[in-house]
Structure 1
Amino acid sequence: MTPAARLAAAIEMLAQMQAEPRRPADALANSFFRERRYIGGGDRRFISAIVWDVLRRWRRLEWHLQRAGSPEATPRLLAGALLLYAGDGDVLRDVEGLFTGEHYAPERLTRAEHAILATLAGTTLDDPSMPDPVRLEVPDWLMPSLVATFGDRLSDELAAMGEPAPLDLRVNLLMGTREQAAASLARAGIETTPCHLSPWGLRAAARQSVTTTQAFQSGLVEIQDEGSQLVVAAVGARPEMRVLDYCAGAGGKTLGMAMTMHNRGHIVACDVSEPRLEGAVRRLRRAGVHNVERHLIVAGDKWAKRRAASFDRVLVDAPCTGTGTWRRNPDARLRLRASDLSELQAKQAEILDRAASLVRPGGRLIYATCSILDDENISQIHAFIGRHSEFRLVPSDSADMPAAFAACATLSLSPALNGTDGFFAAILERSPGS
């Protein structure tokens, strides 16, 4: 595809995202490319790069377009403005040269579009007169929560959130060592370095196609952010234990815990979504895991009552705003509503209360989110302990925890401080006599 044809495809994808604002961008992009199988891998990466760059800069681009007189931030203007701010020299002429309407290129700029982009020429994306939420690319209503969480570090943290995420892999020790995995990936042309915190992690500098490699297909590696791997470490699941993954989804953390248990003991992976649980089957098989039982949670289910106080470890990887994953999902910032946060907080508290009944006396409940907000993290834990005095915060007893967190009862990770996605975990122990 020509650069102009790629730009046209990116504009089309952005238009679909505007038409379906509540649909995650990655799901829409997957559907977009499935319907256009003629687009090759290199072109897909180029198109996706334009779209994701727009999503990361959406509020700032929209602010400039409004100041230039545009009644709305159309996909064509957003893409054109992005190219203006990314280029140098006579950028406006270069941008105009892509909007020709020929050979699958976008249609020519209208007189109004040209005037708006001409107004932007010579300006800079980061304008000092921007309101803070626009400059930081966050919803206005979320600023108080973000300030409460980060204080003076807010700008640094959100700047890190605006950068593309690296590719992290977890080596499956059931299948081989980290050194063997790195060597196998290198033979496939993917160079990695050991993660700084996770004892099982490998990091590639940029997004690359790992799923076609022998290391992935043989179950030697799984795609998993280093922060998520540390949540697995915080659980401290060991071979003799009975472990419950209460919100297992497609089983990413279940796989990690099966590894730390050396495929022994017993794990129950629960979820309310049958498709997600079904999606775990192939991953479990590929990883060589055979100590996992799956259970679908349905209304009126007596399963939990029959298994009350029977698990050594219960992991609650709670549904949350996903604010910690903004590096990977910048569109989530645009979709998040205040009502989403309040609804999720109520759901998190309800799930914690249900999961607490499944922890045996002396056992541990690990609460985790991929959120950076105190509202969903430490505030939830304080409220939970207020309702359940039989639980107290304790440090992890896992030998796999990095030394920096070994004595911590809570784990707070962020891109700026740790180079990971934003994650939180709290380790709670149930009193032996309760």
Structure 2
Amino acid sequence: MNIHHNNLIQGILEGLRAILFEYRYADKVVRHLLRKNRLWGRRDRSQVATVIYDIVRWKRLVKVMAGIEHLTEENIHLLLNYWLERKGRVPTLSERAAFPRAIALSIPDTLDTLGMNELKTRWPLEMEALNQIANTIIRVNTLKIDRKSLQERLFGEGIITETLEEYPEALLVEGRKNLVGAKSYREGLFEIQDASSQKVSHLLDVKPGMQIIDACAGAGGKSLHLAALMQNKGHIISMDISKSKLIELKKRAYRNKVYNIQTFCIDHSDTQIPSFYNYADRLLLDVPCSGLGTLRRRPDLKWKFSKSQLERILILQACILKKYTPMLKKGGKIVYATCSILPSENRKQINQFLKEFPDYRCLSQEEVSPAQSTHDGFFMTLIEKDA
């Protein structure tokens, strides 16, 4: 790794300061940095992004290895210098063996303690896996093209992919590519979506013509997948508290040629939700969570984590389960999902809900372990309401 140009160094330092000290999201920081420096070559852009993500991922361990007692905005360049002297070589297991577990895994003590309490001996294995770099997975938009045809189209654009047998719409992308800049992406032939996330929509068991509510839709990746599974037939109401995310969903739906989605900005108030009571054949609750299952692609989340934040999330998850489930018709089905690996956000939430509401029953549960797969950590459960 040879990064010598001063403007590249300054760009990396700018990105690291924004992520580590201003607590801005890494993906947004890197995108802004690359847009601002359009004269950087393709190789430079790739290296800048790689260095930023690697240092964010290994910050605590590398800080100790570099002999930096207190990392500050002023001395962050010392961390970068040490990393470049190592030529971007990730610390080996033997190098890490001399350090306590939390330092060796490069995570905060608070997160390490919580993880051990919740997952016991599984925790170090999961975190070891989550410290690896994520694969890039895309989902074929079957409303416009089939998987084989998309593979051929992408190959013509210089993008090589592999199929994933257990995921009928997924393709694994080889190497690091500017997928958003690809012509096939602009034409709405695919979306970037991890394989674990793609499982969720399939679990909901939708059929063309159904009435669906995606109650925590965000920018709508799963809503778009549901629309494709429903062949654009039926009605999907995509709700979220973020108006800007719903605007992004509308843009994505237009690009994907999805016509059966209606967006609805909600504020979790009791006055809005009853108007949807007994409406949905299917209800998707992809609830806010710690996001710990996505640390491969979002390593900055571990530096934002706090126990108080988790406590607030747990209260919100339980609240959403209680408030939103009446939107389901009798005999309808719910999928509750998180991109977390913590039982407190997953099985424990569902067990408590089923204990309080005996007219619902669990049909199936699935947990995707990062240590046992190359995909995001995910939890999803299918629940049926009594007829």
Indicate the residue corresponding to 1:28 in structure 2: 29
The answer on whether the counterparts of 2:138 and 2:193 sit within 8 Å (CA) in structure 1 is: yes
Q: In the alignment, which residue of structure 2 is the partner of 1:79? A: 80
Specify the alignment match of 1:304 in structure 2.
273
State the alpha-carbon separation in 1 of the partners of residues 190 and 255 from structure 2: 10
Quote the residue 2:9 is aligned against.
Answer: 7
**1:157 alignment counterpart:** 126
SS of residue in 1 equivalent to 2:361: strand
The match for 2:315 among 346, 359, 377 is 346
Please tell me whether the aligned partners of residues 159 and 174 of structure 2 are also in contact (alpha carbons under 8 angstroms).
no
Structure 1: which amino acid aligns with 2:381? A
Q: Which residue of 2 aligns with 1:429?
A: 384
Counting only pairs closer than 5 Å after superposition, residues 8-407 of structure 1 correspond to structure 2 as 8-20=10-22, 22-65=23-66, 68=67, 70-72=69-71, 74-86=75-87, 126-298=95-267, 300=269, 302-394=271-363
TM-score (structure 1 length as normaliser): 0.83
Contact 1:85 1:125 in 2 (8 A): no
C-alpha separation in 2, matches of 1:244 and 1:387:
23
Post-superposition offset of 1:361: 0.9
For residues 205 and 266 of structure 1, what CA distance do their matches in structure 2 show?
Answer: 36
| Partner-residue secondary structure (3-state), 1:4 | coil
Return the alpha-carbon distance in structure 2 between the equivalents of residues 299 and 176 of structure 1: 37
Give the counterpart of 2:367 among 412, 419, 423. Answer: 412
Amino acid at match of 1:59: R
SS in 2 for 1:3: coil
CA contact under 8 A between 1:231 and 1:425: conserved in structure 2?
Answer: yes
Which residue of the partner structure matches residue 116 of structure 1?
Answer: none
- Alpha carbons of 1:170 and 1:429: their partners in 2 closer, same or farther (altered >3 Å)? same
Residue by residue, what CA displacement relative to the aligned partner does 1:381-402 show, whole Å, maximum 9, x if unpaired?
A: 11111221111100xxxxxxxx
Q: From the superposition, tell whether residues 238 and 179 of structure 1 become closer, same or farther in structure 2 (CA, over 3 Å).
A: same
Q: Is 1:318–1:348's contact at 8 Å kept on the other side of the alignment? A: yes
Which segment drifts farther, 72-81 or 201-210?
Answer: 72-81
Contiguous gaps of at least 5 residues in structure 2? none
* Conserved? CA contact 2:246–2:265, under 8 Å: yes
Q: What root-mean-square deviation, in Å, do the aligned CA atoms of Structure 1 and Structure 2 show?
A: 2.1
In 2, are the aligned partners of 1:411 and 1:425 still within 8 Å (CA)? yes
Cα deviation digits, residues 145-175 of structure 1 (max 9, x gap): 4235544333332222111111101111111
Q: Distance in 1 between matches of 2:121 and 2:237?
A: 42
CA distance in 1, matches of 2:202, 2:133: 25
1:178, distance to aligned residue in structure 2 (A) = 0.5
One-letter amino acid of the counterpart of residue 382, structure 2: I
> Which protein is bigger by CA-based radius of gyration?
1
Deviation for aligned residue 1:369: 0.7
Shift of residue 418 of structure 1?
2.2
TM-score (norm 2): 0.92
Q: Secondary structure at the match of 2:168?
A: coil
Q: d(CA) in 1 for partners of 2:311 and 2:172?
A: 35
Number of residue pairs matched? 381
Q: Displacement, 1:125?
A: 7.6
- Deviation at residue 7 of structure 1 after TM alignment: 3.3
**Does the CA contact (< 8 Å) of 2:111 and 2:302 recur in 1?**
no
Distance in 2, matches of 1:219 and 1:144, equals 44
